[in-house]
Chains A and B, each alone.
Chain A
Amino acid sequence: MTPPEQSSKTVTYREALREAHKEALQRDDRVFLMGEDVGYYGGTFAVSKGLIEEFGEERIRDTPLSESGFVGAGIGTALGGMRPIIEVMTVNFSMLAMDQVLNTAATLLHMSGGQFNVPIVIRMATGAGRQLGAQHSLSLENWYAHIPGLKVVTPATVDDARGMLWTALEDPDPVVIVEHAGLYNREGELTVDGESVDIDRARVHRSGEDVSLITYGINLFKCLDAADALKERGIDAEVVDLRALRPLDRETFVDSVRKTGRAVIVDDGWKTGGIGAELGMTLVEEAFYSLDAPIARVCRAEVPMPYAAHMEQAALPQVEQIVDSAQMLVKPNV
């Protein structure tokens, strides 16, 4: 294989994903994309725009609105030697296919005593922020992260959007790729053009000494903004992007908190039973004696998402809340 071309170019998250799909389809005949409106519509989020013209109807396969049916069929194709990418539009609708993911994809290898692995990639958009109301604004990636047998990744950067797909396709087991809908238009510098990236390590995006901001997905950028704001207040924040919710790279964020002694967990989902609870409890188990302050969580308010913009924004984690939470841990009396 020739070494990947080194370049640094500005692309949107959507373009990075599209490139990743294109490359995977060119690289491996077994790869195909299937889902609602992935073909002639070009993908609900325009990720697969133009692919059907290049790869045809067989490999860019439009499906009826049958989430459980086509996710289950995707599992069957994986068992039959294909490498399917199944797009279920959004995490909201993916719940209609939850049984196939939980009871078939995630269990077959184990139930069969190691005989039948399921190399399927399931992609979905997640998150709120576009005034779509309660049924189109969920962040339920933690539901998938709860399930042994799955891998769950949450690309936040364009590098990860570009690089995680191929790694997921090479994985012999089911991988769920959760893309925050607010990221598709976001531009970033692509630094690893063409290279696949690992899908099991968290990444320290910004190093700091006073407090760790631990997050994933779109809230990475809110945390980076919060870190800038904290800097002005003389607080040196470290920002950890989990990148994957399962397997959870506990080592990286535990090490971060052992160093800083303080943690603010920023979770796009509801607080009760959320992934933030898992992170917090891990810190209690593994970094308790390094903690200089209680662990703080900034989560989505525990309401179905309202439509009105000001109410929706009030329900979502915001930079100010992250800054205030960190401030409280570091210098509560200022």
Chain B
Amino acid sequence: MSDKPAVRMEKIDRERGHHLLHQMLRIRRMEERCADLYAQTKIRGFLHLYIGEEAVAVGVIDALDDDDAVLGTYREHGHALMKGLSAKEIMAEMYGKVEGCSRGRGGSMHLFSKERRFFGGHAIVGAGIPPTVGLALADKMQGRDRVTAGFMGDGSVAEGEFHESMNLAALWKVPALFCCENNFYAMGTALDRHQSQPDLHLKAASYGIPSMQVDGMDVLAVNHATRRAVEAIRNGEGPYFIEFLTYRFRAHSMFDPELYRDKSEVEKWKERDPIKNLSTYLRKRDLLTDDEYDELDKRARDEIEEAVKFAEEGNWEPVEELERFVYSERPDQES
């Protein structure tokens, strides 16, 4: 079941290469700006940055259709942006403004969009996996040709819900794509200190789920692997599991002094920066010039600056509305 294909980089043209690069830059610039805004106390609470891992969200979500569902973890800003939420509504949510994608009720860890079929934003580790199975089961029971992609971290693989969910997904052959972002640390505990079997895809494989391990620093490899998995899922072959080997360049959250890893390790991984990785690849093939890179980067920066302005100018929800959204306001509300 488990295989490690030598996933080749697809031949890509200029337009496609620029698109993927631009998507990663959008996430990178948004996350960097969030870090600044956190220091300025504009954003509060927990803030988990995705810097270093951009190739996974970009490569995976690019391979999905618009009406496929995505479920994220608490490190989900990039996934939300890729799923089509605007930088504006995401940034406003970080600020806690009513214009935010969750009206300021969710914050950084709980981004949602019904319109974009982005189902959150789940901050209990592992707890998003069973609903991923359920969303996929609902599609199967209703005969809809859709895929549900659920993201999880390496830490979640130690949770009982991971194992319960793999078993259910395999038993019921649901159209779910499980995307494990293995960044080698469960918060501050290294992979080989929290997993008896650190090849995480083997765990899914042991439930009979087709699984693979992919270089998560390479957006083309991520995208190619995901397309292959999605094709199998749409062919009715049941769930698929992909372990993406990736790395977060920043601390776990803004409160983390990073006592558990050496700076040299971080620097080593930074050499494999997914943005640098793709840029080099494109430049070598004369598919990217310095000016073009600067233009893509400028577009990303401008978009984020506009989002910050939007969030700054946003409104606070009146306190009188505190008790709204505990129960549905319309009895016929459809999920």
Which chain A residues have a beta carbon within 8 Å of chain B's beta carbons?
32, 58, 63-64, 66, 68-82, 99-100, 103-104, 108-119, 148-149, 151, 170-173
Pairwise interchain contact A104-B102, C-beta atoms closer than 8 A: no
- A104–B127 alpha-carbon span in the complex (Å): 8
Pairwise interchain contact B131-A117, C-beta atoms closer than 8 A: no
Q: Which residue of B lies closest to A109 (CB)?
A: B325
Contacts of B114 in A (CB 8 A): 112, 115-116
Contacts of A114 in B (CB 8 A): 103, 324-325, 329
B198 contacts the other chain (CB 8 A): no
B202 contacts the other chain (CB 8 A): no
* 9 shortest interchain CB distances as A-B pairs: A76-B134, A72-B130, A80-B138, A69-B164, A113-B103, A66-B164, A112-B112, A76-B131, A73-B134
- A104–B160 alpha-carbon span in the complex (Å): 16
Contacts of A73 in B (CB 8 A): 130-131, 133-134, 137, 165, 168
- Told that A79-B134, A80-B139, A110-B325 touch, could you supply 7 new A-B pairs with CB distance under 8 A? A70-B130, A72-B129, A73-B133, A112-B112, A115-B102, A115-B112, A172-B333
- A221–B200 alpha-carbon span in the complex (Å): 54
Nearest-Cβ distance from residue A243 to partner chain B, whole angstroms: 18
Contacts of B139 in A (CB 8 A): 80
Pairwise interchain contact B131-A75, C-beta atoms closer than 8 A: yes
Counting chain A CB atoms within 10 Å of each CB, which of B134, B142, B171 scores highest?
B134
Q: How many A-B residue pairs have CB under 8 A?
A: 163
Partner of A32 from the list B101, B103, B141, B327 (CB cut-off 8 Å) is: B141
Contacts of B141 in A (CB 8 A): 32, 58, 77, 82
- A22–B9 alpha-carbon span in the complex (Å): 54
B136 contacts the other chain (CB 8 A): yes
- A148–B165 alpha-carbon span in the complex (Å): 27
Pairwise interchain contact A113-B101, C-beta atoms closer than 8 A: yes
Contacts of A111 in B (CB 8 A): 102, 105-106, 110, 112, 120-121
- A29–B110 alpha-carbon span in the complex (Å): 32
B156 contacts the other chain (CB 8 A): no
Pairwise interchain contact A113-B332, C-beta atoms closer than 8 A: no
Residue-wise interface mask of B (295-335) relative to A, using a CB-CB cutoff of 8 A (1 in contact, 0 not):
00000000000000000000000000000111111111111
B100 contacts the other chain (CB 8 A): yes
Nearest-Cβ distance from residue B271 to partner chain A, whole angstroms: 38
Nearest-Cβ distance from residue B38 to partner chain A, whole angstroms: 20
Pairwise interchain contact A117-B137, C-beta atoms closer than 8 A: no
B86 contacts the other chain (CB 8 A): no
Partner of A113 from the list B102, B132, B142 (CB cut-off 8 Å) is: B102
B78 contacts the other chain (CB 8 A): no
Q: Which residue of A lies closest to B165 (CB)?
A: A69
- A58–B140 alpha-carbon span in the complex (Å): 10
Nearest-Cβ distance from residue B328 to partner chain A, whole angstroms: 4
Partner of B135 from the list A80, A113, A117 (CB cut-off 8 Å) is: A80
Residue-wise interface mask of B (77-115) relative to A, using a CB-CB cutoff of 8 A (1 in contact, 0 not):
000000000000000000000001111111000101110
Residue-wise interface mask of B (209-233) relative to A, using a CB-CB cutoff of 8 A (1 in contact, 0 not):
0000000000000000000000000
Contacts of A112 in B (CB 8 A): 102, 105-106, 110, 112, 114, 120-121, 325
- A63–B9 alpha-carbon span in the complex (Å): 41
Pairwise interchain contact A113-B167, C-beta atoms closer than 8 A: no
Pairwise interchain contact B328-A173, C-beta atoms closer than 8 A: yes
Contacts of A171 in B (CB 8 A): 331
Contacts of A151 in B (CB 8 A): 327
Q: Which residue of B lies closest to A118 (CB)?
A: B335
With A82-B142, A103-B127, A113-B105 as known contacts, state yes or no: A149 contacts B326, CB within 8 Å.
Answer: yes
Contacts of B325 in A (CB 8 A): 109-110, 112-114
- A104–B123 alpha-carbon span in the complex (Å): 10
- A149–B334 alpha-carbon span in the complex (Å): 16
Pairwise interchain contact B130-A68, C-beta atoms closer than 8 A: yes
With A66-B167, A79-B335 as known contacts, state yes or no: A104 contacts B122, CB within 8 Å.
Answer: yes
Counting chain B CB atoms within 10 Å of each CB, which of A109, A112, A170 scores highest?
A112
Contacts of A79 in B (CB 8 A): 119, 131, 134-135, 138, 335
Pairwise interchain contact A72-B133, C-beta atoms closer than 8 A: yes
- A81–B144 alpha-carbon span in the complex (Å): 11
Pairwise interchain contact A78-B335, C-beta atoms closer than 8 A: yes
- A99–B130 alpha-carbon span in the complex (Å): 11
- A97–B134 alpha-carbon span in the complex (Å): 15
